[in-house]
Chains A and B, each alone.
Chain A
Amino acid sequence: MAGSEADAARALARDRRARVLQALGLTAPLLVFLAFTFLIPIGALLMRAVENPEVARALPATVAVLDSWDTVSAPPDGAYRAFADDLLAMAEPADAGGLARRLNSELPGARSLVMGAFRQRESFATLDAPAAKAAFLALDERWQQPELWRVIARNGSRWTPDYLLASVDRRRDATGDVVAVPEEQAVFVRILLRTLGIGATVTLVCLVLAYPLAWWLSTLPVRKANRLLILVLVPFWTSVLVRVAAWIVLLQSEGLVNRALAGLGWIDRPLELLFNRTGVIIAMVHILLPFMILPLYSVMKGIPRDYQRAAVSLGSHPLGAFVRVFVPQTLPGVTAGVLLVFILAIGYYVTPALLGGPADQMLSSSVAQYANVELNWGMACALGAVLLTATLVLYGVYRRFATGEGLTA
């Protein structure tokens, strides 16, 4: 008896193992794909947002010396000597270039200092510490300013919170406390709020436009609804750029929309529809509307008409039945659509860049600016991390909604 039970348990375990292996085998290609295209890039992005390798790699001796410095008094002579040693240890000019660019991003002018010293490095080879200091000062007076050495000391560790702090308009002051950046330099919080604001506006407009349409579609016979759904999907057949170009044609001062309105006598002079918030929102709603319609439609199609009929037969006015019985059942679709559109909207870059003015640029344009123009990958990745965090927070809220409503059954 016991033997056969053990056999059965073994057979069961073998069976389960086979099924797990089968599942792994079937999903492995996708998992590998995802790992290389999604998980690793995102991990790298998050790493870059806190990584700060240039100073630590280029100036190991200098950083070691500055470790015991109080950051307020004059930098110790030994630091000059160590800096010279670090310069001498560099294999090629590119190492110095990376260091120079990094220091320059925090202290304008540091680039020429570093490159100047690098070119003269052979002359420092045999000098002792005070002589080294004198040689540096002879090269440029600015070598004695403590700020330069503070920048080196602050960036001496391989990891830094500075990029992330900067992406929410915070910085570390001389003593290492986190403080708000001066008002005139604070940009990212404003851009983040603008991004969320545009995302929210676009999402709301999409919801208001999509809900009645999706409801109407869901009341149609399936064949007819499918034909009309193709029209909903047509925008997906053309590239975003083409659609944006089309909107420029339509919305410009002498464009179709303004001419039509003027022709109808509704306006005296052309409306400003382009290169401002209005144009951005019109185009984004157009592009994102299908992402709202489709989840709403699929949820609404699954709600039998009987519910509303039942509510009416129980004495509800048809409108009351709609609000009290139909609308609550569409909430999963509403949350899905809202989430989808909002998350896609806050990542928009091309549309605001082409249709908006300078005051309509979203966080992605800052990311592009840092990645493509300033080559500051740390800032680009930190801003990306901020967007990612906003998205994850939203998703968390959605999960709370979706499960808290008890609508999973």
Chain B
Amino acid sequence: MASDPSSVLVRFAGVAKTYDGTTFAVRDLDLDVRHGEFLTLLGPSGSGKTTTLMMLAGFEAPSTGDILLDGRSIRATPAHRRNFGMVFQSYALFPHLSVGDNVAYPLNVRGVSGQERRDRVARALAMVRLEGYQTRRPSQLSGGQQQRVALARALVFEPTLVLMDEPLGALDKQLREHMQIELKALHRQLGITFVYVTHDQGEALTLSDRVAVFQDGALQQVAPVDRLYEAPANRFVAGFVGDATFLEGRLVSRHSGAVELELPGGWRLRGVDGDLGDAPPGTDVVAVVRPERIAFTSEPAGENALSATVEDVIYFGDHLRARCAIDGQAVATVKVPLGPRPPVGGAVSLHLPAEHLRIYR
């Protein structure tokens, strides 16, 4: 990597996009893309992540705000001058051209010809391990191979930035996981900045350096993957990224970050402040905890302990998940190591460690 990894390549500054003047597909977006990072835009459909990518690609113009590339506005730069490689979910390989001609397309457009073009096409195809496929038609390749050709085509002209719009969405699960590993390796090897759009939080966690979570057109949180999982910024992010159990209760007291809440059953739990701000005692809040942080305990009266009934035990291969019913709450999911199974229908006590119980509005 030539440039400083922490320096900003792309900056969204106060960007908003509306198609009808009243509803916003994207609003108040301030987001930095750093040199060489793998940034994923994550969110459910209609959250604004694809619109954000399309504005970056130049296919949509921001209604307000500006997009800066290396500090200079690219609002007026048309899509074909931005020098960003793009990979589509549909692959978008040109069906009337061979694989080689598809990969050579961006080079032809840039006037690269002869031996250099041949060399670069061969190198790009070798990079995605498709040597010898030059003369095939896209329709003769499998889905995974087609996606690799699309990748080679987006990389062959050494773009400033590679944009990917759910590129693995059309592949089956095994192939998708395999391609995730390849993509990540490719990113590490090339050092090019990737901006990746997906609605699959598992994929986002696997691939990314940082993830930007979108909902209803608004950016919810941008963070490295571990921070995103361990310290979600709000209730939506906590629910969207990873599995979690939500317990509804009422805020009792707060002392410098340590929060106490009361569940309808009378239990009192202590936890960490998620996004309470200046919420007064008595506010309705939720406590969120990951399945692997909950443990069975033999001290039902201990601190942060709840009694529950085992409703179901699900076998996951490398672990078990017990679904435990708590009075007046949604069912809690507990990750249990392989071993003796908790008896279904039996009463258990759950321990929710205070440092892993995050309280949100």
Binding site for B on A (CB under 8 A): 304, 306-307, 309-318, 320-321, 325, 328-329, 331, 405-407, 409
Q: In the assembled complex, which residues on chain B have CB atoms less than 8 Å from the CB atom of A312?
A: 58-59, 79-80
B105 in contact with A314 (CB, 8 Å): yes
Chain B residues positioned under 8 Å from A304 (CB to CB): 90, 92
Q: A315, B80: Cβ atoms under 8 Å?
A: yes
Q: Are B109 and A316 in contact (CB under 8 A)?
A: yes
Interface residues in chain B, defined as those with a beta carbon under 8 Å from any beta carbon in chain A: 57-59, 78-86, 88, 90, 92, 94-96, 105-106, 109-110, 137, 139-140, 150, 153-154, 157, 163
Residues of B within 8 A of A309 (CB): 57, 59, 79, 86, 88, 92
Contacts of B154 in A (CB 8 A): 313-314
Please tell me which one of the listed residues A315, A328, A331 contacts residue B109 in the complex, with CB atoms under 8 A apart: A315
In the complex, residue of chain A having the shortest beta-carbon distance to the beta carbon of B163? A313
Q: In the complex, A325 Cα to B82 Cα: how many Å?
A: 19
Residues of chain A with a CB closer than 8 A to B83's CB: 315
Q: A313-B58, A315-B83, A315-B109 are in contact. List 17 more A-B contacts (CB 8 A).
A: A304-B90, A304-B92, A306-B88, A306-B90, A306-B92, A309-B86, A312-B58, A313-B57, A313-B86, A313-B154, A314-B80, A314-B109, A315-B80, A320-B109, A329-B94, A329-B95, A409-B95
Q: Are A318 and B86 in contact (CB under 8 A)?
A: no
Q: A311 near B79 (CB under 8 angstroms)?
A: no
A-B contact pairs, 7 of them (CB 8 A): A311-B105, A312-B58, A312-B59, A314-B86, A315-B110, A317-B80, A318-B80
User: CA A306 – CA B137 in complex, angstroms?
Assistant: 18
A325 to B106, CA, bound (A): 12
- Chain A residues with CB under 8 A of B92: 304, 306-307, 309-310
Given the known inter-chain contacts A304-B90, A310-B88, please indicate yes or no for A407 contacting B95, CB distance below 8 A.
Answer: yes
Complex Cα spacing A361 to B105, Å: 50
- Are A313 and B95 interface neighbours, CB within 8 A? no
**Distance to closest chain A CB from B125 (angstroms):** 16
Determine if A316 and B80 form an interchain contact, defined as CB atoms under 8 angstroms apart: yes
Q: How far is the CA of A150 from the CA of B305 in the complex (A)?
A: 121
Give Cα distance in the complex from A176 to B150, angstroms.
68
Instruction: Please provide the 8 A-B residue pairs with the shortest distance between their CB atoms, ordered closest to farther.
Output: A313-B86, A409-B139, A310-B92, A314-B106, A306-B92, A315-B109, A328-B96, A306-B88
> Counting chain B CB atoms within 10 Å of each CB, which of A313, A317, A406, A407 scores highest?
A313
Chain B hits for A315, CB < 8 A: 80-81, 83, 106, 109-110, 157
The residue of chain A having its C-beta at the shortest distance from the C-beta of B106 within the complex is: A314
Nearest chain B residue, comparing its CB with the CB of A306:
B92
Q: Which residues of B contact A406 (CB under 8 A)?
A: 96, 137
The distance in angstroms between the C-alpha atoms of A321 and B92, with both chains bound, is 13
